Structure 1
Amino acid sequence: MPQRQPQRPGQPICRSGSRSAQASRVLSDGGHRNLYNVDGGMLAWEAAGLPITR
């Protein structure tokens, strides 16, 4: 996995939002900032009709 620059915005995302919330906490504890978790994950994203690239 490529290294992430701590100052750049990031959006961890998973299927339901649970694992990405955990990942956001781990990254935050490691000094990363500007993290935005997608509540509900890809399930909520798709249900909202937002674009998806497969």
Structure 2
Amino acid sequence: MIEPIFADTKFNRRCDRFQRRGRSAARSEWRLITATHNLLKLHRHQLAIA
């Protein structure tokens, strides 16, 4: 179930294209985007518990 992650990234967080050029730069940017996605999920989960 990968599609919701792309939808959240593209529409809700407005990251519809890479800002840097090159494959390694785009890969590191994508890893940063997915890391912040996971951190936001953890943060929302902690708020729901509290």
TM-score, normalization: structure 2? 0.35
Q: Which has the larger radius of gyration?
A: 2
TM-score, normalization: structure 1? 0.34
In terms of fraction of residues, the more helix-rich structure is: 2
Q: Could you say which structure has the greater relative contact order, defined with CA pairs below 8 angstroms and 6 or more residues apart? A: 1
